[in-house]
Structure 1
Amino acid sequence: MNFPAIKLPLVNTYLETLNGQSLPKKYSGLNFVSVFCGGGGLDLGFSLAGIKPVFSSDVIPSFCATVAKNLPKHVVEPHDINLLSGNYVLDKVRAPVDIVIGGPPCQAFSILGDRKSRDDPRGQLAFEYVRFIKEIGPKAFLFENVPGLLTVNKGKDWEQLLEFFAAETGYKIRWTKLNSVRYGVPQIRQRVIVVGFRDEVNFRWPAPRYAESQDQSELGMIPPLPAWMALEDVENLPNHVLREHGERVIERYSTILPGGRDRKDHTDRVHPDRPSGTVLVGSGAGGGRPFIHPFEHRHITVREAARLQSFPDWWEFSGGPTSAYRQVGNAVPPLMAKAIASEIRLALGK
């Protein structure tokens, strides 16, 4: 006897995972201080891993407002790292600090090889971050940045930066390059991660669960998540404000195939069945534009970009659209940050 086929609704497991993320009711006993917090990708990831935020800071007030709104009950203040002392932070939190996390803007390192860079406010940030770590004296620290850092000055700047971290802090340094798509994020996004430990510990980088490419299978790995999973059911969510485009732009975008690029403004259209490219949403000085939506002839919204970055829907971004796009585009994906933080927590015995 033949039974009629029953079509079951397709469950969006990514959104289930994403919006199932919640802050712990009780933390592990470890805490962290965050500088260059931006829109809070690292801060959220470490908090989700059970590590308590006690102080977060960025030079831009609207970035701090985002973190304060979503991670309440800890100190969040705008500061220039050049003027922020470890003693000030320790006085504020009134407790020893276990972990310091941060990612100074990448411009800071393109001139590290020249000690005259101390006179350049961009180059100063690298030295100031290390100085801040030394003043805090945590059990561990994390530094993150873009992979292009590895090839500046034929790799010499990277080598000198690692030597600088080790010599100045005395910590045991480990580093690697991670791709967020391997940790359940529907986006190809590589970041360089450095961790330093005050004492000898048994630390391992988080094991990947997803393959890096749909075109090449990997034994035991789940296929990478496609971008469409991040772009469903966004109506009426915070930060989902559609940008109005002129008729000429809409007409031009209507000719761009999935995965293609607009020749005029060099904007890429998201391919719905593949992980998106790296979310680049520019800066105050310009730069990348938001992606074109895979099905609609418009840029993706802040909320859609945040979904591709693995921010849960309850995480709201403060400031205007430009500020919010910058916060999303400069962030470490929270799900990848959570995976790293979980391994640091294990290494520290918690």
Structure 2
Amino acid sequence: MPETFIDLFAGAGGLSWGLQQSGMDCLLASDHWSDAVTTYRHNLPGHPVLEKDVRDLSVREIEKHLTRQPDWIVGGPPCQGYSTVGKRDRHDPRNVLFLEFRRIVAGIQPEGFVIENVLGMKDMSFEQEVCDSFRQIGYTVRFMVLTAAEHGVPQLRRRVVFVGHKTRGLFQGPLVTHDSESFVTVDEAIGDLPPLGPGESAVNYSAAPSTVYQKEMRRDSRLLQGHQVSKHPSHLVEAISHVPDGGNRSSIPEHLQPRGGFHNSYSRLASWLPAVTITQNLGKPSGTRCIHPFQDRGLTTREGARLQSFPDRFHFLGGITSQRLQVGNAVPPLLAQALGESLQNTRRWF
């Protein structure tokens, strides 16, 4: 019988999608963000979903929706308070939402749990506090840092993962399947998508897939969703036209230099490498290295989704800003799948 899970802080469904692909069954998902819940329900129609703030979610209410005892409770508490970007505050209320997760784990008593979050959580030395809080309720806990590119995702995204279990011991983590010689690159991930200019969009494929990754992303998809470019002002397009593949703003002539931004703003993705971390600003050339390698524009939602390892048949709903936020906040499905496969593999425990 497949192992089962509850997904708290489910967002658009990246973690649930990947765990389902690994052979696990979702008994219940929850999130309070309406657009993300709409996207989740659209793509994972067989999963019961509660649109509710976890702080208002009681153990009794969860149990009413369960058809059986879950093997796992998984989730990624909101990451803004932990993020390495901007000011971090150990007393930010978002930093204690993992205690709400813990409350539900303590009440439901699954065999195991998974917490996924950004690397900043580790930098803030929260890892010991989290581990200790779950050991107190009977779980053997281990935390680790996972790099998405090592599991087939065309992105150098790093995440902290906590895994605890009552009886299996310490989790070794998912097997690494890719290294710097075999990482999926940006071009291998999105090179087949129709070329676009600022303000343009496309719903039809214009070229055949040329890589294994592209073929997998296009499986069971006939039309493109979310392949739409924001309108960029002409002076911005002219400025970024001077930036080469993988280059940065230093290539922009002085008279065209944007006034604001950081050192890695107005930089192109390198076509021959995995992407840097995809964020909600993926469509803005002023964002952190999110200009298309060859085309003078920011990324589309679909390109961001590809770089996160969402297949083209996974559609993001809501306005374009909301779609990009959903993509940027998501767990890469291929990373989630690798994690799910290892959680169920008894040889990955000691």
Band the TM-score falls in, shorter-chain normalisation: 0.7 to 0.9
* Alignment pair present for 1:141 and 2:109: no
Gaps of 5+ in 1: 1-27, 215-222
Please list the CA deviations of residues 26-71 of structure 1 after superposition, one character each: whole Å capped at 9, or x if unmatched: xx52211111111211111100001111211111011011111111
Q: What is the SS of the residue equivalent to 2:269?
A: coil
Give the CA deviation at 1:255. Answer: 1.1
> What is the Cα-based RMSD across aligned positions, in Å?
2.2
- With normalisation by structure 1, the TM-score equals 0.80
What is the CA-CA distance between 1:282 and the residue it aligns to?
A: 4.5
Match of 1:29 in 2: 2
Assess if the C-alpha contact under 8 Å between 2:245 and 2:270 holds in 1.
yes
Q: Is contact 1:281–1:288 with CA below 8 Å preserved after alignment?
A: no
CA deviations 1:282-306 (Å, max 9, x no partner) are 49xxx95671111110111000000
The 1:191/1:238 distance shift into structure 2, 3 A limit, reads same
How many residues are matched? 300
Residue 200 (1) aligns with residue 181 (2): no
2:304 counterpart of 1:305: yes
**What is the CA-CA distance between 1:247 and the residue it aligns to?**
0.3
Question: What is the letter of the counterpart of residue 301 of structure 2?
Answer: V
Determine if contact 1:188/1:277 at 8 Å carries over to the other structure. Answer: yes
Task: Describe the shift of the 1:245–1:51 C-alpha distance in structure 2 as closer, same or farther (beyond 3 A).
Answer: same
In 1, the alpha carbon distance for the partners of 2:163 and 2:118 equals 15
* Corresponding residue for residue 101 of structure 1: 74
Q: Deviations over 1:225-246 (max 9, x none)?
A: 2110111333421111121111
TM superposition shift of 1:201: 4.5
Does residue 1:226 correspond to 2:185, yes or no? yes
Q: State the partner residue of 2:29.
A: 56
Of 226, 245, 250 in structure 1, the residue corresponding to residue 232 of structure 2 is: 245
**Structure 1 position 93, deviation (Å):** 2.0
Alpha-carbon distance in structure 1 between the residues aligned to 2:175 and 2:23: 19
The residue number in structure 2 matching 1:273 is 272
Distance verdict in 2 for CA 1:319–1:205, change over 3 Å? same
Q: Which residue of 2 aligns with 1:9?
A: none
Question: What residue in structure 2 maps to residue 161 of structure 1?
Answer: 130
Aligned-pair distance for 1:136?
1.6
Worse-superposed segment, 252-261 or 296-305? 252-261
CA distance in 1, matches of 2:312, 2:29: 21
The answer (yes or no) to whether the contact 1:108–1:124 under 8 Å persists in 2 is no
| Identity score, percent | 34
Report whether the alignment pairs 1:191 with 2:159.
yes
Change (3 A) 1:348 1:226: closer
CA distance in structure 1 between the aligned counterparts of 2:57 and 2:347, rounded to whole angstroms: 26
Q: 2: CA distance between counterparts of 1:267 and 1:122?
A: 30
Partner of 1:294: 293
Report the alpha carbon displacement of residue 80 of structure 1 after superposing the two structures with TM: 0.5
Opposite residue 151 of structure 1, the aligned amino acid is: D
SS, match of residue 279 in structure 1: coil
1:338 aligns with 2:337: yes
The answer on whether the counterparts of 2:143 and 2:161 sit within 8 Å (CA) in structure 1 is yes
Whether 1:126 and 2:98 are equivalent positions in the alignment is yes
Check whether the contact 1:202–1:347 (CA below 8 A) recurs between aligned residues. Answer: no
For the Cα contact (< 8 Å) 1:290–1:300, is it kept in 2? no
Distance change in 2, residues 1:254/1:111 (3 Å): closer
3-state DSSP of counterpart to 1:106: coil
Tell me the residue number matched to 1:82.
Answer: 55
Specify every segment of 5 or more residues in structure 2 that has no aligned partner in the other structure, as ranges: 83-87, 195-202, 204-223, 250-256
Q: Deviations over 1:239-297 (max 9, x none)?
A: 111211110110011011222234634133111111111112249xxx95671111110
> Could you tell me whether the CA contact under 8 Å between 1:140 and 1:197 is conserved in 2?
yes
Aligned partner of 2:145 in structure 1 is: 177
